[in-house]
Amino acid sequence: MSVAKVSEITASSAKSFEDAIQEGISRATSTLENVQSAWIKDQEVEITDGKITEYRVRMKVTFILK
């Protein structure tokens, strides 16, 4: 039997939503063991002077406990 835990994280990128997701997953897998999946809960952008300056994602990352 496996037991999983879900952690919510926020990641950002100046490039794109896809890059923000990759940054978040990369960070999660470097600090958590047995990461199995991620669900993108929310996306938003930071706007300065009418231009997008940052892409942000909130995601729920699922990992299996030992």
The tens place of each residue's pLDDT in the chain, 66 residues long, gives 889 999 999 999 999 999 999 999 999 999 999 999 999 999 999 999 999 999 999 999 999 998
Q: Let me know if 56 is exposed, middle or buried by CB neighbors in 10 A (0-12, 13-18, 19+).
A: middle
- Which residues are bridge partners to 58 per DSSP? 10, 42
AA letter at 45: V
Buried b vs exposed e over 7-20: b needs ≥16 C-beta within 10 Å? eebebbbeeebeeb
Domain extent at residue 59: 3-65
Domain count for the chain: 1
What was the pLDDT predicted at 27? 96
What is the pTM for the complete model shown? 0.88
Question: What CATH number does residue 56 fall under?
Answer: 3.30.1660.10
Q: How far apart (Å, rounded) are the C-alpha atoms in residues 19 and 21?
A: 5
